Structure 1
């Protein structure tokens, strides 16, 4: 006899469900769900956000009473997920902390129960989140196993090889009960009549004999039975009786195939008791944020696609910072509203009416909270955000560069000089801490960046075609460049044009800038050196450039071969209070298209606005940006190659997938680069 479990995800904020249809969802989906436990003797898990629970309490108090009674009788189990369903790795740790606090408080208020297990929202996981869930009081997690197997390179190994617990970067761990996309999708198809019942039962029997773990028969939406959200034109109309058909299939699985139905917490205890403990980080450098289902569902779906994800996330970061300041001043911020504005449903197939309502709520919240004082909090480190603002400042006193490129400037006791080289195509800038060469033939890209802290070796470079052996990497690879691709109009645009830079001295920065045509507007491009320490900043400003229905990648940085020692690793906080370290121990292709309709396969959760590169000798390079100005998506490419690996970091402002819509707004992007503390020549 095999142990099995099922739970249902309830979400009245579902992106394509209009508010007026919510009572219909409760009647057609949520009451029949409780019938499974009350009338069909099926133990089930019920997972819902605090926001959804509060809406049900308003619209249908009878459902709340039924659910509470079944919980008290031990016939269903409540599973938590926060106040809203938000993408944890994209949000600041403070937002995730309040989201879980508010969600558990709502469960206690409406149902008298604090859930012990939590479903990872959209199955978007980062190991930084272990501490968030543990601090909230959860005793375990539910997470999709298919993409964790991919991240951990467990293909071909038995299901029992999966970790038993998620291990956080601070050493804390939480047990994991694994769910399965293939199993839940097959049950959906059988219930919808797309797969014969006997064929489905045989499939489950095969999985039961093969997997060796409690079977997660169904772990997904409740709103797909006897109801259709209306998101896709290909959706078939529901046939009445789908919940009854589901109950019949579950009964047959028990009576004919020998499944023993368990509550999710019971299934977790069985799994933990029958396998040796194996806590492990769940992500990897190739998949730093595993998410649900197939490859088209990746982190970029909620960060830089949708109607206007980049703008919405940037505004939410700004509101987060303002509310944190209010809390520090003793005020009571509206954390619930903030979590609602971070909700994943606003970032996918949101209806027109709900999108406009969200924009109005966000504008009102920003206006109300801005009365505190200007946003100057600096989570990226002392002076970092203020410095980014100086690099992006307007109204500078720009001067033409002399014909020979020669400048000699002094500020804060430091001297910096410039001069032209290589037939006037390159501009070399020297400082006590930095030796920088810009390529004027290629749009102020970084021909060579060498800090004294790296023994004067070039950490970032432009690599010419032919540098790598083999045809796969037979191209020019620039640093500090931009690439826009618009498949619908077959456009591929870059900033790799000849420029005559201007210069300005502003607040301790030497800025070199150029204006280049880009699409339907212009690119205001700047490279800046901070005189007191040799820090480097890159700025891309978009003047009249429309957000493309395609991709826009900026700040691309190509690592040189000589200034670091392998192995490399990336340190980044992805939604939690402690950063995680991810080793570059395998090929990484975050920017690789999944299909003609999905332009990329993933990236890092960059909600903290900082990333540190390490090599075998310690911290190497700090990269910082301000998500409240531009919540850009960091992405990595790392390929084995000769004569050395090809490694390139970049940031995306726009990607393409099925949620992408025309319109929206681009945000200017500024990136600060400097040697990591503790690494001296």
Structure 2
């Protein structure tokens, strides 16, 4: 006999719901859930943030009292989330710790219980978050199964091949209560009247016969039944009939026609945990470092550099978090404010009124912590062209016969730059790596396949705007200017770019193995398209496989990925969604190593610019093709005209 469970996600911060409609949402969406529990005896899981719970307690305390009573009676279950619906893999560890702490305190205060299971916010998963959840006191987690299976190459394997436990960065592993995007979307379509019950029941029957496991009948939003959040013009119209009544009828048909019995989420988790042997595994891969629910168009970059002004909001959240940590701030109210600014809904279809409220809250909090709204300007320097510039001791400067290649060499670094291509990097080598170039340029003809029949530079900028039918790079003839300050050599070029000016700066440390790339935009608004900077091409002929990449993604430890499969983070998921994946790198560090040891350490300040790193890696001949890039803007359904750009500075070291 098939078994199933349901978990409903309650979110009064839902981006497109206006503040004044929240009482209506409670009345039309949240009360019917409790009625289902009371009338039908369904052991539902209700997941909500501490913030949503506090809002309901203020607007409709009777709902909270009824929910608390049903929890005490064991008739339904609380599923945890945090104080707000933060995207954990995009926030630093300390912010994630506080979000879980504040959420659990709210559950205890309003309901008198602490949940054992946590639902991964927006189903945006990283390995590091397993450690955060375990530290907070959770015994298991809910995650979407489909994209984890895709990440692990199991999308065509039997369901039984799916891991049972999520492995953290260390020894911690938590049992997983698996959700399913296709199952929850199918139920939504039936309840909205877009699919017949008979067709749905036939599909669930096939799934029960094929999968042989407990079916996650529903793990998604509550606010879409008898209410429409208003995100899309294509949302199904309300028919006038009660959708909750239709859902209740559907549950009855599942019981009568399929013989389905209902389990609580905790019963599912306990069954998973008691199943031996445990199949614990890392649930991500280099191709999908942060699996997310639904189809590919719904990916992690939805909350990074799209929306109304995600880049600026994320950057300031990083600044605020760093300031709280540096000050040793333990004030729950300050961390609560930060978590609210980091809520995912501010980054998607947020209403204009709520967006303005968020901007005011951000400005007030920056002022409270003594942080200015703008970053400090570069110190003034005396710039000279190459003919006037006198190289200091320890620095050799030369040009090739064509006048195209500019070479800079110190006791630590050997750097060649292309003056014909916007000061792009031809080769960068460090003394500690026996002067073997790590990144640089692969010229047209290097790869055997015509699919890679182009020049691939390093250090560049690329803007693509389908809206304006525009593609612009920085690959122009340049005459660089030079300046010195202590042991730092500065080189800059200024280029007309997309109606404004791009200033690129390189800072070469003449006493250490360090090169810094900076990108400054003047008179340039955030494009309605993609803007990717700091593009780096690896020179595999000087490296020894395997190549590994590591970064933190919301947890206390780094996650490690081997470059052993196709990864195309910056590839468009559809004509309207410009990318498909990205890396969290929540402390502004990303490291590469090969079989010989550390290869390249990249560092930046996410508090200045929370750019999203993207990886391209594909097999090729004579060597693999690998690039890293940092995105400042992407396109998807949440992207709005306007928004701002932040200057980006990237430091490169061998370790």
Shorter-normalised TM range: over 0.9
- C-alpha contact (below 8 Å) 1:454/1:563 kept by paired residues: no
Shift, 1:422, TM fit: 3.6
CA distance 1:46–1:437, change in 2 (3 Å): same
* Aligned counterpart for 1:400 among listed residues 370, 385, 395: 385
What does 1:373-384 align with in structure 2 at a 5 Å threshold? none
What does 1:65-144 align with in structure 2 at a 5 Å threshold? 65-144=65-144
Deviation readout 1:61-97 (Å, 9 max, x if unpaired)? 0000110110011110000000000111111111100
- C-alpha contact (below 8 Å) 2:541/2:623 kept by paired residues: no
* Aligned counterpart for 2:392 among listed residues 401, 409, 425: 409
Deviation readout 1:197-245 (Å, 9 max, x if unpaired)? 1111111111111112210000000001011111111223323311111
Shift, 1:608, TM fit: 1.1
3-state secondary structure, aligned to 1:432: coil
Q: 1: CA distance between counterparts of 2:178 and 2:155?
A: 16
Q: Does 1:629 align with 2:608?
A: yes
Q: 2: CA distance between counterparts of 1:186 and 1:236?
A: 14
Q: 2: CA distance between counterparts of 1:534 and 1:223?
A: 54
Shift, 1:188, TM fit: 0.6
Match of 1:316 in 2: 317
Shift, 1:327, TM fit: 2.7
Q: Does 1:578 align with 2:557?
A: yes
Match of 1:679 in 2: none
Q: Does 1:280 align with 2:281?
A: yes
Match of 1:2 in 2: 2
Match of 2:359 in 1: 359
Shift, 1:3, TM fit: 1.6
Unaligned runs of 5+ in 1: 376-388, 677-681
Q: Does 1:494 align with 2:510?
A: no
3-state secondary structure, aligned to 2:636: coil
CA distance 1:422–1:89, change in 2 (3 Å): farther
Q: 2: CA distance between counterparts of 1:208 and 1:672?
A: 52
Shift, 1:546, TM fit: 1.3
- C-alpha contact (below 8 Å) 1:4/1:262 kept by paired residues: yes
Q: 2: CA distance between counterparts of 1:333 and 1:630?
A: 25
What does 1:573-652 align with in structure 2 at a 5 Å threshold? 573-652=552-631
Q: 2: CA distance between counterparts of 1:80 and 1:462?
A: 49
- C-alpha contact (below 8 Å) 2:16/2:230 kept by paired residues: yes
Q: 2: CA distance between counterparts of 1:589 and 1:58?
A: 46
Match of 1:299 in 2: 300
Shift, 1:263, TM fit: 0.5
Q: Which moved more, 1:229-238 or 1:483-492?
A: 229-238
Shift, 1:583, TM fit: 0.6
Aligned residues: 654
Deviation readout 1:362-410 (Å, 9 max, x if unpaired)? 0000000117x999xxxxxxxxxxxxx99x724222112117xx74314
Q: 1: CA distance between counterparts of 2:234 and 2:155?
A: 32
Shift, 1:421, TM fit: 1.6
Shift, 1:271, TM fit: 3.1
Shift, 1:129, TM fit: 1.1
- C-alpha contact (below 8 Å) 1:558/1:649 kept by paired residues: yes
Q: 2: CA distance between counterparts of 1:65 and 1:217?
A: 27
Match of 1:166 in 2: 166
What does 1:334-353 align with in structure 2 at a 5 Å threshold? 334-353=334-353
Deviation readout 1:414-450 (Å, 9 max, x if unpaired)? x222122242111100011111001000001001111
Q: 1: CA distance between counterparts of 2:621 and 2:512?
A: 35
CA distance 1:195–1:574, change in 2 (3 Å): same
Shift, 1:310, TM fit: 0.5
Q: What's the TM-score once normalised by structure 2's chain length?
A: 0.98
Shift, 1:484, TM fit: 0.1
Q: 2: CA distance between counterparts of 1:26 and 1:374?
A: 37
Match of 1:474 in 2: 453
Q: 1: CA distance between counterparts of 2:585 and 2:524?
A: 24
Deviation readout 1:169-202 (Å, 9 max, x if unpaired)? 1221111110000000101111111111111111
Shift, 1:132, TM fit: 0.6
Shift, 1:532, TM fit: 2.1
Q: What's the TM-score once normalised by structure 1's chain length?
A: 0.94
Deviation readout 1:539-587 (Å, 9 max, x if unpaired)? 1100111110000000000011233211111110001110011111101
Match of 2:256 in 1: 255
Shift, 1:606, TM fit: 2.2
- C-alpha contact (below 8 Å) 1:323/1:333 kept by paired residues: no
Q: 1: CA distance between counterparts of 2:8 and 2:558?
A: 32
- C-alpha contact (below 8 Å) 1:407/1:419 kept by paired residues: no
Q: 2: CA distance between counterparts of 1:535 and 1:79?
A: 47
Match of 1:384 in 2: none
- C-alpha contact (below 8 Å) 2:366/2:373 kept by paired residues: no
Q: 2: CA distance between counterparts of 1:626 and 1:451?
A: 23
What does 1:89-238 align with in structure 2 at a 5 Å threshold? 89-238=89-238
- C-alpha contact (below 8 Å) 2:425/2:459 kept by paired residues: yes
Shift, 1:269, TM fit: 1.8
Shift, 1:332, TM fit: 6.0
Q: Which moved more, 1:616-625 or 1:80-89?
A: 616-625
Shift, 1:275, TM fit: 5.2
Match of 2:416 in 1: 437
Match of 2:399 in 1: 420
3-state secondary structure, aligned to 2:327: helix
Q: 1: CA distance between counterparts of 2:515 and 2:425?
A: 11
- C-alpha contact (below 8 Å) 2:569/2:616 kept by paired residues: yes
Unaligned runs of 5+ in 2: none
